[in-house]
C-alpha cells in the first residue's frame, strides 16, 4: 500500500476514546446563499484541473455537502484521482491516498498498536483513515476483509482496533475509485459496502474540444502539478453542511423519492431493489444539489438529476439478465419515466 499524506496531518499517538457520537450537530451559521456562492467557487477551482466535467463534479460536491461518500467508477486516465485531490485541496481538507492492493491488510487502513520501547507501553499509530478526505484508489483490488475495514469508518465515523474505539474527526469523506472493465485480480464490492456509498458515478470521455483544452493548459503551465487554491476549510465545510440541513423539502417531493425507490423493487428485471436508505439518499443529495443550483428548496428536477447516481448501485439485477444490456442505470431510467412527477413549486412558503 502507498499513502500520501500532507505534512500537516497528525499521525501522533491518541488514546482518547471518549464518546462524542451523542454531540449535537453544529448550528447553521451560514446562509444558503453563501453556501451556493462557495459551492460555485469550489467547482470553478476544481474545473481548472478537471476540464469539462462540471455536471459530474457538481454531483460529487453535492454528495460531500450531503455528508456522504462517493464512488467514482470509470476507465483509467479520466481524472478520478485528480478530481479527489482537487476537491481535497479546494475544500481545505487534509488528504490521504490509500492504494488498494491484494496484499493490503485492515490494519494498513485503521492503524495499529505499536510497542514504544522508550515508554515501555503500546501506543496507537493512526492509519490513513484518520483524515478529512480519503482517496480509496482502486478499491476493488483489495480482498473483502480489507474492504470491510472501511464499513465501520464510513457508516459510524469510527474505527475499532483491539477492542478500543477511535472516533474520526468530522468532516470525514471517502472518495473511492474503481475500474469497471478490468476484472483480473479484482474483488467486486459486496452490496453491503456499495450501499454505504451515497452515490456512484463516472466522468466519461471528454469531448474533442475539452481534450484539446487539457493539452493546452498542460503546455501553458509547464509542469504536471496543478496549483489550486483552498476556497474553504474544514470548519467552513461543516457550516455549509449544517446549512444544507435547512433546505425545504415539500412532502410531495419526499413522497416522490419514496415512490422512485419502491418502484425499483417492483421492476421485473430487479432481484433486489433499493432499500429505504436509497430514498433517504435521494432527499439528502437533492437538498445539496438545490443549494448548489441557488435554491433553498428542492424541486423534482433535482431528484431526477441525482437519481441514477444515487439508486443504480443499490439495485441487483436478476442473474439471467447479467449477460444482457440491462443495468441498474437502465432500470432507474425506466422508473423515472413511469413514476408520476409531482408539480414543481417556484416558491415554497417558509
| Residues 164, 46 within the same domain | yes
**Distance in angstroms (rounded) separating the CA atoms of residues 310 and 339:** 16
| Residues 208, 277 within the same domain | no
**Distance in angstroms (rounded) separating the CA atoms of residues 209 and 212:** 5
pLDDT value of position 262: 97
Peptide bond into 131 cis (omega under 30): no
Question: Would you state the cell numbers that stand for residue 113, as one nine-digit string?
Answer: 498498536
Give me the number of domains the chain comprises. Answer: 2
| Residues 332, 217 within the same domain | no
Q: 163 in helix, strand or coil?
A: coil
**Residues lower than pLDDT 70 in the chain:** 1-28, 182-185, 344-350
> What string of DSSP letters covers 53-72?
-HHHHHHHHHHHHTT--EEE
| pLDDT tens digits, one per residue of 226-282 | 889 999 999 999 999 999 999 999 999 999 999 999 999 999 999 999 999 999 999
Q: 263 in helix, strand or coil?
A: helix
pLDDT value of position 8: 39
Burial class (CB in 10 A: 0-12, 13-18, 19+), 297: buried
Apex 203 CA angle, 202 and 209, nearest 5 = 160
Contact status, residue 109 vs residue 160, Cβ threshold 8 Å: no
Does residue 71 sit within a domain? yes
| Residues 90, 155 within the same domain | yes
Does residue 302 sit within a domain? yes
| Residues 81, 197 within the same domain | yes
Which of residues 190, 224, 258 is at a domain's end?
A: 224
| Residues 68, 132 within the same domain | yes
**Distance in angstroms (rounded) separating the CA atoms of residues 246 and 34:** 13
pLDDT value of position 189: 83
Q: 9 in helix, strand or coil?
A: coil
- CA-to-CA dists, residue 256 to 141, 160, 213, 236, angstroms: 37, 38, 40, 32
Taken in order 314, 100, 135, 83, the sign of the CA dihedral is negative
- CATH for 319: 1.10.8.80
> What string of DSSP letters covers 89-112?
HHHT--EEEEE--TT--HHHHHEE
| Residues 31, 116 within the same domain | yes
User: Which secondary-structure segment (H or E) carries 208?
Assistant: helix 208-221
- CATH for 113: 3.40.50.300
Contact status, residue 30 vs residue 56, Cβ threshold 8 Å: no
| Residues 64, 163 within the same domain | yes
**Distance in angstroms (rounded) separating the CA atoms of residues 270 and 330:** 11
pLDDT value of position 179: 84
Question: How does the average pLDDT of the chain come out, rounded?
Answer: 88
Does residue 332 sit within a domain? yes
What is the length of the chain? 350
Task: Supply the DSSP symbol for 127.
Answer: -
Longest dimension (CA), the chain: 69
Does residue 235 sit within a domain? no
Does residue 121 sit within a domain? yes
| Residues 173, 260 within the same domain | no
Pairing of strands 199-201, 70-73: parallel
| Residues 41, 178 within the same domain | yes
Apex 259 CA angle, 258 and 261, nearest 5 = 65
pLDDT value of position 306: 98
| Residues 216, 310 within the same domain | no
Does residue 100 sit within a domain? yes
Contact status, residue 248 vs residue 296, Cβ threshold 8 Å: yes
Residue range of the domain that includes 334: 247-338
**Distance in angstroms (rounded) separating the CA atoms of residues 168 and 146:** 18
| Residues 178, 39 within the same domain | yes
- CA-to-CA dists, residue 224 to 177, 217, 257, angstroms: 21, 10, 43
Does residue 347 sit within a domain? no
**Distance in angstroms (rounded) separating the CA atoms of residues 28 and 23:** 15
Contact status, residue 339 vs residue 307, Cβ threshold 8 Å: no
Amino acid at each position: 500500500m502507498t499513502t500520501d499524506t500532507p505534512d500537516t496531518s497528525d499521525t501522533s499517538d491518541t488514546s482518547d476514546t471518549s464518546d462524542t457520537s451523542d454531540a449535537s450537530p453544529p448550528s447553521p451559521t451560514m446562509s444558503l446563499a453563501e453556501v451556493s456562492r462557495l459551492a460555485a467557487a469550489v467547482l470553478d477551482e476544481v474545473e481548472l484541473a478537471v476540464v469539462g466535467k462540471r455536471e459530474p463534479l457538481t454531483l460529487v460536491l453535492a454528495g460531500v455537502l450531503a455528508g456522504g461518500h462517493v464512488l467514482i467508477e470509470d476507465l483509467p486516465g479520466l481524472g478520478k484521482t485528480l478530481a479527489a485531490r482537487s476537491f481535497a485541496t479546494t475544500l481545505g481538507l487534509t488528504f490521504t491516498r490509500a492504494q488498494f492492493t491484494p496484499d493490503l491488510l485492515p490494519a494498513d487502513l485503521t492503524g495499529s498498536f505499536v510497542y514504544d520501547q522508550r515508554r515501555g507501553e503500546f501506543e496507537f499509530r493512526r492509519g490513513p483513515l484518520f483524515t478529512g478526505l480519503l482517496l480509496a484508489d482502486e478499491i476493488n483490488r483489495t480482498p473483502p476483509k480489507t474492504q470491510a475495514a472501511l464499513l465501520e469508518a464510513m457508516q459510524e465515523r469510527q474505527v475499532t482496533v483491539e477492542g478500543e474505539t477511535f472516533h474520526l474527526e468530522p468532516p470525514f469523506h471517502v472518495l473511492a475509485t474503481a475500474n469497471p472493465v478490468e476484472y483480473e485480480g479484482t474483488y467486486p464490492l459486496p452490496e453491503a459496502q456499495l450501499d454505504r456509498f451515497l452515490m456512484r458515478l463516472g466522468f466519461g470521455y471528454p469531448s474533442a474540444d475539452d481534450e484539446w483544452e487539457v493539452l493546452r493548459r498542460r503546455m501553458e503551465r509547464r509542469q504536471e502539478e496543478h496549483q489550486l487554491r483552498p476556497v474553504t476549510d474544514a470548519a467552513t465545510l461543516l457550516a455549509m453542511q449544517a446549512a444544507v440541513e435547512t433546505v425545504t423539502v415539500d412532502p410531495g417531493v419526499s413522497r416522490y423519492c419514496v415512490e422512485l425507490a419502491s418502484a425499483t423493487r417492483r421492476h421485473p428485471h430487479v432481484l433486489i431493489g433499493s432499500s429505504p436508505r436509497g430514498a433517504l439518499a435521494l432527499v439528502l443529495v437533492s437538498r445539496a444539489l438545490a443549494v448548489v443550483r441557488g435554491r433553498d428548496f428542492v424541486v423534482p428536477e433535482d431528484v431526477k438529476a441525482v437519481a441514477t447516481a444515487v439508486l443504480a448501485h443499490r439495485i441487483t439485477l436478476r442473474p439471467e439478465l447479467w449477460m444482457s444490456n440491462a443495468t441498474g442505470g437502465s432500470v432507474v431510467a425506466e422508473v423515472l419515466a413511469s413514476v408520476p412527477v409531482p408539480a414543481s413549486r417556484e416558491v415554497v412558503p417558509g
